[in-house]
Amino acid sequence: QVQLVESGGGLVQAGGSLRLSCAASGRTFSTYTMGWFRQAPGKEREFVATINWSGGNTDYADSVKGRFTISRDNAKNTVYLQMNSLKPEDTAVYYCAANGLPYGGAVRATNRYIYWGQGTQVTVSS
């Protein structure tokens, strides 16, 4: 079993920055693809960013390219999402997720992730 706990969310003004962290339990964390997803009020959960098992390959939603950066520190069992130049439309609950496929590549599809955190709220004011 893998447990994920997000932190770092909060209220920030447009143009500001936040860094989200996802702390993972489980010996096999370092072999899993990881992802960040978000869900805004009245909308479906959407892909934000993903990173492969080693950290050497990443992918981003078009809406966050150039502003967000996903990274991981396997020695610390932690995944990060650095969010810069935040916009009001970034307001959502952000979820960390782990793909159960060892040594997998970057994955966008929500249904390819089997472990999920509880989410952390990010609110961007205009």
Beta bridge partners of 31: none
DSSP letter, residue 30: G
Check if the beta carbon of residue 36 is closer than 8 Å to that of residue 49: yes
Check if the beta carbon of residue 21 is closer than 8 Å to that of residue 70: no
Report pLDDT digits (tens) over 34-90. 999 999 999 999 999 999 999 999 999 999 999 999 999 999 999 999 999 999 999
- What is the distance in angstroms between the CA of the first residue and the CA of the last residue of the chain? 40
- Quote the CA–CA distance of 92 and 81 in Å, as a whole number: 14
Report pLDDT digits (tens) over 16-40. 999 999 999 977 788 999 999 999 9
Check if the beta carbon of residue 116 is closer than 8 Å to that of residue 96: yes
Confidence grade of residue 14 (pLDDT, cut at 50, 70, 90): very high
Length, in residues, of the chain: 126
Residue 50 CA, chain-centre distance (Å), reads 7
pLDDT score for 19: 98
Check if the beta carbon of residue 77 is closer than 8 Å to that of residue 58: no
Task: Give me Rg for the CA atoms of the chain.
Answer: 13
- CA torsion through residues 97, 102, 108, 114, sign: negative
